[in-house]
Amino acid sequence: MLEQLQELHVQALDELSRISEPDELELWRVRYLGRKSGVTQVLRSLATLPLEERRKVGARANEVKSALESRLIEKKRIVEEVHLISALEQKRLDVTLPGRPVSTGRSHPITQTLGEICDIFKSMGFQVFEGPDVEWDYYNFEALNIPRYHPARDMFATLWIDSEMEGRLLRTHTSPMQIRIMEKTRPPIRVIIPGRVYRYEATDATHESMFYQVEGLAVDENITLADLKGTLFEFCRRLLGQERRVRFRCDYFPFVEPGVEVAIDCLACNGGGCRLCGYTGWIEILGAGMVHPDVLRKLDIDPEVHSGFAFGLGVERIPMLRYGIEDIRLFYSNDLRFLKQF
């Protein structure tokens, strides 16, 4: 039996020396130290041996067992270390490489401009509302004093919605929201409505088929053209500079009387005349006017008691003027080289 143990010891150590994989180590442990291993069997059979021999064999078997156990622990450490080193070498990280830049998003220049515009009007007591892009003929035209066959419909090249229901269109301006607000609310009213509008037109550097407007509406007792002028004058200067000059001239829109167009002196030439302003020195940014009595009457607001002003502002104009952007189409062509500048 002592010989058997000796042989086992030698064989086990020989096999262990050739192992290089962690999985094989476990198999080796089961084979030489497990419940069915030679050493365990020897230890189990001790009871059948005469006392003298039992002592010797028992002592030797325990020696072999603990020797194998400690060699296993040693070997395990070595195998794991070798494995770790080769793993580290394969997945080598070059910590001296420069990091990859993280690109952060930003809001669109039009979104930024809308935010500024809304902030200015909010500070003057206006509430912000939004309305539907798909409108009814009634709100876009009829209720705004533009009945069917009215020549003013030619001012708005309209995109009609092709569906079972007649009279639906993509709103050509934000003015239909004047009607929706006055239907639902009684004066005093002070609101602005930012939103997209659509025109059926060939696009070029100054025309897009989709663009933004901000509508404004104020209705109360004793509202006069002076209120319109004061509000828009203040707005233009807060948005585009305290030194701006603001010009009001007569214009025509069927839903206001009188109607005005509002222009500011050109930012590029300060009114001297340049390519940007078509050598006029002025840039038109708003259509406005006093709400037409017929419009008020249709909404059960008595024009003898209440009056109001309304305006519509073209939004793209503003960043185009400020940053010298010469083509409106850049805003909606999703070119990151352009958008990243803002």
* Interface residue list for ligand PHE (CB under 6 A): 173, 175, 253, 256, 259, 287-289, 310-312
Shortest Å distance, C-beta 337 to ligand PHE: 31
Shortest Å distance, C-beta 291 to ligand PHE: 8
Residue placing its CB nearer to ligand PHE in the complex, 252 or 338 = 252
Residue placing its CB nearer to ligand PHE in the complex, 198 or 253 = 253
Shortest Å distance, C-beta 313 to ligand PHE: 8
Calpha distance 342→319 (Å, rounded) = 10
Q: Which residue is nearest to ligand PHE (CB)?
A: 312
Residue placing its CB nearer to ligand PHE in the complex, 65 or 292 = 292
Residue placing its CB nearer to ligand PHE in the complex, 64 or 320 = 320
Shortest Å distance, C-beta 333 to ligand PHE: 24
Residue placing its CB nearer to ligand PHE in the complex, 191 or 256 = 256
Residue placing its CB nearer to ligand PHE in the complex, 312 or 319 = 312
Shortest Å distance, C-beta 312 to ligand PHE: 3
Kindly state the greatest CA–CA separation across the chain.
129
Residue placing its CB nearer to ligand PHE in the complex, 126 or 253 = 253
Is-contact 1 43, C-beta < 8 A? no
Shortest Å distance, C-beta 296 to ligand PHE: 14
Residue placing its CB nearer to ligand PHE in the complex, 32 or 212 = 212
Kindly report the three-state secondary structure assignment for every residue of the chain: CHHHHHHHHHHHHHHHHCCCCHHHHHHHHHHHHCCCCHHHHHHHHHHHCCHHHHHHHHHHHHHHHHHHHHHHHHHHHHHHHHHHHHHHHHCCCCCCCCCCCCCCCCCCHHHHHHHHHHHHHHHCCCEECCCCCEEEHHHHCHHHCCCCCCHHHHHCCCEECCCCCCCEEECCCCCHHHHHHHHHCCCCEEEEEEEEEECCCCCECCECCEEEEEEEEEEEECCCHHHHHHHHHHHHHHHHCCCCCEEEEEECCCCEEEEEEEEEECCCCCCCCCCCCCCCCEEEEEEEEEECHHHHHHCCCCCCCEEEEEEEEECCHHHHHHHCCCCHHHHHCCCHHHHCCC
Shortest Å distance, C-beta 332 to ligand PHE: 19
Shortest Å distance, C-beta 265 to ligand PHE: 21
